Amino acid sequence: MSSLSLSLLGAARAGAEAQVPGLLDHEFASRLAAKDHTLWGPAAESEAAERLGWVSPFESAQALLSQIGQLRENLAAEGVTRVLLAGMGGSSLAPEVICASDDVDLVVLDSTDPQQVAATLTDLDRTVLVVSSKSGSTVETDSQRRIVQRAFADAGIDPQSRTVVVTDPGSPLAQQSEQDGVRALFTADPTVGGRYSALTAFGLVPSGLAGADVETLLEDAEDAAEVLFADDAANPGLQLGAAISATSPLRDKLVIVDAGSTLVGLGAWIEQLIAESTGKDGTGVLPVIVADGEPELTREAGDVLVVEIVDVEAEDGASVDADPEETVVTPHVVRTGGSLGAQFMLWETATAVAGAVLGVNPFDQPDVESAKAAARGLLDSPAPAAGEPIRDGAVEIRTRGDQVLLTSGQATVAESVQALLARVPDNGYVAVMAYLDRIAESQLGDLRPQLAAQSGRPTTFGWGPRFLHSTGQFHKGGPAVGVFLQITAAADHDLQVPDRPFTLGSLISAQADGDAQVLADHGRPVLQLHLSDRGAGISQLLEVVGELG
């Protein structure tokens, strides 16, 4: 029996009431279960035909469990118990939440920041590297793999015997792994897209190797699927999908409150799923993750739906409560609870529903490629800086030709940030994009509530390049109502990417510049601040933004 629960209030409830009858008429849920690729219209048909494997991952996932368990035992017998996962977006977000929720250690390497990558190169004698990439060609993952394997070799450890690969059959990574030999090669179901792959080898292999209870995860998900694929008005997948997509003008901001649920980090996984799946063709839903206690401010903005993820006791069957007795202050709320496996299935189903209601293809990410291409171009031939940057203490206000919004005339950080915030439209949002070390420099995240307070608008915070595989799609493909604060930093020690003509420092810089360029090309305001000294620059930014009047 599923432990899913869902409550809807205000516009969320109205959205569900408006849309669910139509979804039932179309037998959306049972057609989804039957992998009907016509559900999202003719333009999405060919892609959808190859992307619906996530609705029934259970049989092939079960077959994996004993292989994962055996490999974990063999590695443990050699004293190898630390799992280091290299992978971006859908190839690392699910294992991160699975392990954190199960209180199991997993080191996630989803960065190209030289400092953050270098910090993971410890305890190599007891480390296994899991390289996860569906395409097998993502530059971040390939660079991480090369660096960690070189570190193994330098430590006198055979890199191949400590590398486990998860990828699609026939990908460049699969071919190379077959050629070079690796400890284990897991090929995943190619009919499951990256962000829908939580219950495939991408979610299960790293999590299972780290010691998470992936068996229960799968059982819970399978129980939930029974409820989610029923043509029933009480189906929480239909209700949630309709609630988040059919409540215009509220629908384009979804504030996810981290209210201390035991599903640690689920918000970041939902963020990628919703932002990359819906943020395109000028429409979509922007997830905004906030801490508990803070949402009052954002709620006052009035044009957001608030999602609260709560812990629920396992119940007999799924419950959908459209009129909870509890009094809540927030007018427009989605409140959901249930096991992690059930939540994965719920949100994947709801996202498929939301795509259909919004009229977008929820399985592609057309605008992610543009930033990747710009980064590749800049890596091959870096753009010369247009004149001297404006300096204010440890922060440089960068003006790179016509690649980013010029802040000419604004001589200080305070003035330039104020000028950026003045550009936020009434229905807009602020996005902070920080290309720094998200572990050691996490205090920079305090900028988010500060800027939300200053602007009075929903404010997101993404660590680069991780967010490029998540909200990055929405920034460029969604409604043009965002303003963008990009923060980059000098690295004390750069890292060469073995056998590649670039360092991590030049890669992350090209990624930041490439994204800024594409945002500016889309007419989005971008302010680029570069910290010449990380510690001093972070303190200065927090102080300056905190004091903005």
Ligand X SMILES: O=P(O)(O)OC[C@H]1O[C@](O)(CO)[C@@H](O)[C@@H]1O
User: Quick count: other Cβ atoms within 10 Å of Cβ 81?
Assistant: 16
| DSSP string over 178-213 | HHH--SEEEE--TTS-GGG-TTSHHHHHHHHHHT--
Nearer to ligand X, 112 or 133 (CB): 133
Cα separation of 172 and 206, whole Å? Answer: 20
Packing angle, helices 266-278 and 93-101, rounded to 10? 160
Q: Cβ 132 to ligand X, closest distance in Å?
A: 7
Nearer to ligand X, 250 or 368 (CB): 368
Q: Which strands form 395-398's sheet, in the order they lie side by side? A: 390-392, 395-398, 526-531, 482-489, 429-434, 459-463
Q: Cβ 135 to ligand X, closest distance in Å?
A: 3
Find all residues with CB under 8 Å of 459, minimum gap 6, and list them.
Answer: 288, 429, 430, 431, 432, 448, 449, 451, 452
Q: Cβ 262 to ligand X, closest distance in Å?
A: 25
Nearer to ligand X, 133 or 235 (CB): 133
Cα separation of 431 and 436, whole Å? Answer: 15
**Residue 430 · residue 527 · CB < 8 Å:** no
- Inter-CA distances, 523 with 71, 321, 519, Å: 50, 42, 7
Q: Cβ 315 to ligand X, closest distance in Å?
A: 32
Cα separation of 147 and 150, whole Å? Answer: 5
Nearer to ligand X, 7 or 91 (CB): 91
Q: Cβ 173 to ligand X, closest distance in Å?
A: 9
Q: Cβ 201 to ligand X, closest distance in Å?
A: 11
Nearer to ligand X, 169 or 293 (CB): 169
User: Which residues of this chain interact with ligand X, rule CB under 6 A?
Assistant: 88-91, 133-135, 138, 141, 194-195, 276, 365, 368, 469
Nearer to ligand X, 28 or 463 (CB): 463
CA torsion 131-190-365-114 (nearest 10°) is 0
Question: Position 333: which residue type?
Answer: V
Nearer to ligand X, 91 or 239 (CB): 91
Q: Cβ 368 to ligand X, closest distance in Å?
A: 4
Q: Cβ 364 to ligand X, closest distance in Å?
A: 9
- Inter-CA distances, 146 with 31, 163, 252, 468, Å: 43, 11, 39, 21
| Closest C-alpha to 476, from 355, 372, 389 | 372
Nearer to ligand X, 229 or 435 (CB): 435
